Amino acid sequence: MLELKSLAVDHGKLRALWDISLEVRQGEKVALLGANGAGKSTTIGAIAGIYPVAAGSVTYEGQSLTNASPAEVVRRGIAAVPEGRRLFTAMSVQENLTMGAYSRHLRGSVDEGLEKVFSLFPILRDKRRQNAGELSGGQQQQVAIARGLMASPRLLLLDEPFIGVAPKVIDEILDALRRIVAEGVTVLLVEQNIHRALNFANRAYVIENGRTVLEGNRESLLDNPAFADKFLGLE
Ligand SMILES: Nc1ncnc2c1ncn2[C@@H]1O[C@H](COP(=O)(O)OP(=O)(O)O)[C@@H](O)[C@H]1O
Ligand SMILES: [Mg+2]
Protein backbone atom coordinates (compact mmCIF):
# COMPACT_ATOMS: atom_id res chain seq x y z
CA MET A 1 0.00 0.00 0.00
CA LEU A 2 2.77 2.41 1.07
CA GLU A 3 6.40 1.96 0.16
CA LEU A 4 9.37 4.15 1.02
CA LYS A 5 12.55 3.41 -0.91
CA SER A 6 15.89 4.80 0.28
CA LEU A 7 14.24 8.01 1.37
CA ALA A 8 16.48 11.00 2.18
CA VAL A 9 15.21 14.27 3.69
CA ASP A 10 17.08 17.42 4.71
CA HIS A 11 16.19 20.02 7.30
CA GLY A 12 17.90 23.05 5.82
CA LYS A 13 21.52 22.10 5.26
CA LEU A 14 21.37 19.15 7.65
CA ARG A 15 20.42 15.72 6.43
CA ALA A 16 17.87 14.18 8.83
CA LEU A 17 17.00 11.03 6.86
CA TRP A 18 19.70 9.14 4.96
CA ASP A 19 18.14 5.87 3.97
CA ILE A 20 14.63 5.00 5.05
CA SER A 21 13.03 2.00 3.39
CA LEU A 22 9.81 0.48 4.61
CA GLU A 23 6.57 -1.01 3.43
CA VAL A 24 3.10 -0.97 4.90
CA ARG A 25 0.64 -3.45 3.45
CA GLN A 26 -3.11 -2.98 3.27
CA GLY A 27 -4.78 -3.83 6.58
CA GLU A 28 -1.57 -3.91 8.60
CA LYS A 29 -0.70 -2.22 11.87
CA VAL A 30 2.96 -1.22 11.60
CA ALA A 31 5.03 0.52 14.26
CA LEU A 32 7.93 2.89 13.65
CA LEU A 33 10.38 2.79 16.56
CA GLY A 34 13.48 4.75 17.41
CA ALA A 35 15.12 7.06 19.91
CA ASN A 36 14.50 10.81 20.13
CA GLY A 37 15.92 12.50 17.07
CA ALA A 38 16.16 9.27 15.05
CA GLY A 39 13.97 10.66 12.28
CA LYS A 40 10.51 9.23 12.97
CA SER A 41 8.61 12.51 12.70
CA THR A 42 10.62 13.55 9.65
CA THR A 43 9.62 10.28 8.00
CA ILE A 44 5.94 10.90 8.74
CA GLY A 45 6.29 14.51 7.56
CA ALA A 46 7.88 13.39 4.29
CA ILE A 47 5.00 10.99 3.61
CA ALA A 48 2.48 13.71 4.51
CA GLY A 49 4.03 16.18 2.08
CA ILE A 50 5.29 18.54 4.78
CA TYR A 51 9.04 17.98 4.21
CA PRO A 52 10.52 17.76 0.72
CA VAL A 53 12.07 14.49 -0.32
CA ALA A 54 15.72 14.97 -1.35
CA ALA A 55 16.27 11.44 -2.68
CA GLY A 56 14.46 8.13 -2.86
CA SER A 57 10.75 7.62 -3.36
CA VAL A 58 7.35 7.36 -1.73
CA THR A 59 4.90 5.09 -3.51
CA TYR A 60 1.27 4.77 -2.48
CA GLU A 61 -1.18 2.30 -3.99
CA GLY A 62 1.18 1.74 -6.88
CA GLN A 63 1.63 5.42 -7.77
CA SER A 64 4.26 7.97 -6.86
CA LEU A 65 3.56 10.16 -3.83
CA THR A 66 7.07 11.61 -3.76
CA ASN A 67 6.89 15.36 -3.05
CA ALA A 68 3.10 15.48 -3.32
CA SER A 69 1.51 18.46 -1.54
CA PRO A 70 -0.17 17.92 1.84
CA ALA A 71 -3.59 18.46 0.21
CA GLU A 72 -2.81 15.87 -2.46
CA VAL A 73 -1.72 13.38 0.22
CA VAL A 74 -5.07 13.83 2.02
CA ARG A 75 -6.96 13.53 -1.25
CA ARG A 76 -5.19 10.25 -1.98
CA GLY A 77 -6.51 8.82 1.31
CA ILE A 78 -3.77 9.39 3.88
CA ALA A 79 -4.30 11.26 7.17
CA ALA A 80 -1.42 12.21 9.44
CA VAL A 81 -1.98 12.94 13.13
CA PRO A 82 1.03 15.08 14.05
CA GLU A 83 3.20 14.85 17.13
CA GLY A 84 1.93 17.25 19.79
CA ARG A 85 -1.61 17.18 18.36
CA ARG A 86 -1.56 20.74 16.90
CA LEU A 87 -5.16 21.54 17.68
CA PHE A 88 -6.71 24.97 17.37
CA THR A 89 -7.06 25.34 21.13
CA ALA A 90 -9.27 28.48 20.98
CA MET A 91 -11.74 26.74 18.68
CA SER A 92 -14.40 24.24 19.69
CA VAL A 93 -13.91 20.51 19.42
CA GLN A 94 -16.49 20.38 16.63
CA GLU A 95 -14.77 23.17 14.69
CA ASN A 96 -11.46 21.32 14.96
CA LEU A 97 -13.11 18.16 13.66
CA THR A 98 -14.83 19.96 10.80
CA MET A 99 -11.46 21.33 9.65
CA GLY A 100 -10.29 17.75 9.18
CA ALA A 101 -13.05 17.26 6.66
CA TYR A 102 -11.98 19.85 4.11
CA SER A 103 -11.55 17.25 1.40
CA ARG A 104 -14.56 15.32 2.56
CA HIS A 105 -16.86 16.40 -0.26
CA LEU A 106 -15.19 13.53 -2.10
CA ARG A 107 -16.34 10.93 0.41
CA GLY A 108 -19.60 11.58 2.24
CA SER A 109 -20.91 14.38 4.42
CA VAL A 110 -19.39 16.17 7.39
CA ASP A 111 -22.34 15.08 9.56
CA GLU A 112 -21.70 11.43 8.74
CA GLY A 113 -18.07 11.92 9.66
CA LEU A 114 -18.96 13.56 12.96
CA GLU A 115 -21.37 10.73 13.83
CA LYS A 116 -18.67 8.20 13.08
CA VAL A 117 -15.96 9.82 15.21
CA PHE A 118 -18.42 10.53 18.04
CA SER A 119 -19.33 6.84 18.13
CA LEU A 120 -15.62 6.01 18.26
CA PHE A 121 -14.82 8.62 20.93
CA PRO A 122 -18.14 9.26 22.79
CA ILE A 123 -16.60 11.83 25.15
CA LEU A 124 -16.08 14.15 22.17
CA ARG A 125 -19.82 14.31 21.56
CA ASP A 126 -20.34 15.64 25.11
CA LYS A 127 -17.47 18.10 24.74
CA ARG A 128 -18.13 19.18 21.15
CA ARG A 129 -18.97 22.79 22.04
CA GLN A 130 -16.02 23.29 24.40
CA ASN A 131 -12.75 24.82 23.30
CA ALA A 132 -10.25 22.11 22.47
CA GLY A 133 -7.73 23.78 24.80
CA GLU A 134 -9.97 23.06 27.80
CA LEU A 135 -9.82 19.30 27.30
CA SER A 136 -7.43 16.89 29.03
CA GLY A 137 -4.35 15.66 27.17
CA GLY A 138 -6.04 12.36 26.36
CA GLN A 139 -9.21 14.02 25.13
CA GLN A 140 -7.17 16.40 22.95
CA GLN A 141 -5.41 13.40 21.45
CA GLN A 142 -8.81 11.87 20.71
CA VAL A 143 -9.75 15.12 18.94
CA ALA A 144 -6.53 14.98 16.90
CA ILE A 145 -7.15 11.39 15.81
CA ALA A 146 -10.82 12.09 15.14
CA ARG A 147 -9.84 15.12 13.03
CA GLY A 148 -7.61 12.85 10.96
CA LEU A 149 -10.43 10.35 10.54
CA MET A 150 -12.79 13.09 9.31
CA ALA A 151 -10.89 12.98 6.02
CA SER A 152 -11.99 9.35 5.74
CA PRO A 153 -8.46 8.00 5.22
CA ARG A 154 -7.45 4.51 4.12
CA LEU A 155 -4.04 4.98 5.76
CA LEU A 156 -3.67 6.67 9.15
CA LEU A 157 -0.25 7.92 10.30
CA LEU A 158 0.04 8.54 14.05
CA ASP A 159 3.08 10.30 15.52
CA GLU A 160 3.56 9.47 19.22
CA PRO A 161 -0.11 9.81 20.12
CA PHE A 162 0.22 8.69 23.73
CA ILE A 163 2.49 11.39 25.14
CA GLY A 164 0.76 13.08 28.08
CA VAL A 165 -2.19 10.69 27.93
CA ALA A 166 -3.39 8.85 31.04
CA PRO A 167 -3.08 5.01 30.91
CA LYS A 168 -6.83 4.45 30.97
CA VAL A 169 -7.32 6.79 28.02
CA ILE A 170 -4.41 5.14 26.18
CA ASP A 171 -6.34 1.87 26.41
CA GLU A 172 -9.51 3.55 25.11
CA ILE A 173 -7.59 5.03 22.18
CA LEU A 174 -5.96 1.68 21.40
CA ASP A 175 -9.42 0.04 21.40
CA ALA A 176 -10.68 2.72 19.02
CA LEU A 177 -7.67 2.19 16.74
CA ARG A 178 -8.36 -1.54 16.67
CA ARG A 179 -11.96 -0.81 15.64
CA ILE A 180 -10.71 1.48 12.88
CA VAL A 181 -8.36 -1.20 11.62
CA ALA A 182 -11.20 -3.76 11.74
CA GLU A 183 -13.13 -1.41 9.44
CA GLY A 184 -10.34 -1.53 6.90
CA VAL A 185 -8.03 1.39 7.77
CA THR A 186 -4.30 0.68 7.75
CA VAL A 187 -2.19 2.22 10.55
CA LEU A 188 1.44 3.33 10.79
CA LEU A 189 2.16 4.21 14.42
CA VAL A 190 5.24 6.08 15.65
CA GLU A 191 5.85 5.07 19.22
CA GLN A 192 8.69 5.15 21.75
CA ASN A 193 7.24 2.63 24.13
CA ILE A 194 8.38 -0.67 22.64
CA HIS A 195 6.02 -2.89 24.57
CA ARG A 196 2.99 -0.79 23.74
CA ALA A 197 4.06 -0.58 20.10
CA LEU A 198 4.56 -4.32 19.73
CA ASN A 199 1.38 -5.03 21.65
CA PHE A 200 -0.56 -3.07 19.03
CA ALA A 201 1.40 -3.60 15.82
CA ASN A 202 1.95 -6.83 13.93
CA ARG A 203 5.21 -5.54 12.48
CA ALA A 204 7.74 -2.83 13.24
CA TYR A 205 10.69 -0.94 11.81
CA VAL A 206 13.49 0.57 13.85
CA ILE A 207 15.04 3.88 12.75
CA GLU A 208 18.47 4.97 13.92
CA ASN A 209 20.19 8.18 12.80
CA GLY A 210 17.94 8.52 9.78
CA ARG A 211 18.27 4.94 8.61
CA THR A 212 15.99 1.93 8.91
CA VAL A 213 18.18 -0.61 10.70
CA LEU A 214 15.81 -3.39 11.78
CA GLU A 215 12.51 -4.77 10.61
CA GLY A 216 10.42 -7.68 11.73
CA ASN A 217 7.24 -9.00 13.20
CA ARG A 218 6.64 -8.90 16.93
CA GLU A 219 8.16 -12.30 17.67
CA SER A 220 11.21 -11.97 15.46
CA LEU A 221 12.06 -8.55 16.88
CA LEU A 222 11.68 -9.69 20.47
CA ASP A 223 13.93 -12.68 19.68
CA ASN A 224 16.52 -10.54 17.87
CA PRO A 225 19.52 -9.87 20.15
CA ALA A 226 20.29 -6.60 18.31
CA PHE A 227 16.77 -5.41 19.08
CA ALA A 228 16.95 -6.61 22.68
CA ASP A 229 20.28 -4.80 23.20
CA LYS A 230 18.85 -1.54 21.94
CA PHE A 231 15.43 -1.54 23.47
CA LEU A 232 14.44 -4.12 25.99
CA GLY A 233 14.92 -2.92 29.50
CA LEU A 234 14.75 0.70 28.38
CA GLU A 235 11.06 0.95 29.11
N1 LIG B 1 12.10 21.43 11.60
C2 LIG B 1 13.38 21.03 11.80
N3 LIG B 1 14.44 21.82 11.50
C4 LIG B 1 15.70 21.40 11.68
N5 LIG B 1 16.04 20.19 12.15
C6 LIG B 1 15.04 19.36 12.47
C7 LIG B 1 13.65 19.73 12.32
N8 LIG B 1 12.88 18.68 12.72
C9 LIG B 1 13.73 17.72 13.11
N10 LIG B 1 15.03 18.11 12.97
C11 LIG B 1 16.22 17.28 13.25
O12 LIG B 1 16.11 16.13 12.43
C13 LIG B 1 16.48 14.95 13.15
C14 LIG B 1 15.30 13.99 13.20
O15 LIG B 1 14.27 14.57 13.98
P16 LIG B 1 12.82 13.92 14.12
O17 LIG B 1 12.39 13.42 12.82
O18 LIG B 1 11.98 14.92 14.81
O19 LIG B 1 13.13 12.69 15.10
P20 LIG B 1 12.15 11.82 16.02
O21 LIG B 1 10.75 12.11 15.62
O22 LIG B 1 12.57 10.41 15.78
O23 LIG B 1 12.43 12.25 17.44
C24 LIG B 1 16.94 15.43 14.52
O25 LIG B 1 18.34 15.59 14.47
C26 LIG B 1 16.26 16.77 14.67
O27 LIG B 1 17.00 17.63 15.50
MG1 LIG C 1 9.19 12.84 16.68
What pLDDT is stored for residue 106 in this prediction? 52
Q: 69 C-alpha vs ligand 2 centroid, how far in Å?
A: 21
Nearest to 29 by CA among 172, 199, 161: 199
Nearest CA to ligand 1 atom 7: 11
Tell me which amino acid residue 131 is: N
What pLDDT is stored for residue 162 in this prediction? 93
Residues with CB under 5 A from ligand 2 (ion): 40-41, 83
| 152 conformational bin, left if phi > 0, alpha if psi -120 to 50, beta if neither | left
Q: How far apart are CA 50 and CA 164, in angstroms?
A: 24
What pLDDT is stored for residue 55 in this prediction? 98
Domain segments of the chain as ranges: 2-84+151-231
Which of ligand 1's atoms lies nearest the C-alpha of 159? Answer: 21
Q: How far apart are CA 68 and CA 153, in angstroms?
A: 16
Say if CB 74 and CB 55 are below 8 A apart. Answer: no
Which of ligand 1's atoms lies nearest the C-alpha of 43? Answer: 17
Ligand 1 binding residues, C-beta < 6 A: 11-12, 14, 16, 34, 36-42
Q: 7 C-alpha vs ligand 2 centroid, how far in Å?
A: 17
Which one of the ligands is nearest to 82 CA?
A: 2
If 0-12 CB within 10 Å is exposed, 13-18 middle and 19+ buried, where does residue 62 land?
A: exposed
Nearest CA to ligand 1 atom 2: 11
Quote the CATH superfamily of domain 2-84+151-231.
P-loop containing nucleotide triphosphate hydrolases (3.40.50.300)
Mutation to probe ligand 1, out of 9, 11, 194 (largest number of atoms < 8 A from CB): 11
What pLDDT is stored for residue 104 in this prediction? 52
What pLDDT is stored for residue 115 in this prediction? 93
What is the mean pLDDT of each successive set of 10 residues along the chain, which is 235 residues long?
98 97 97 94 97 98 97 94 88 90 65 92 96 94 95 95 92 95 97 88 95 92 82 58
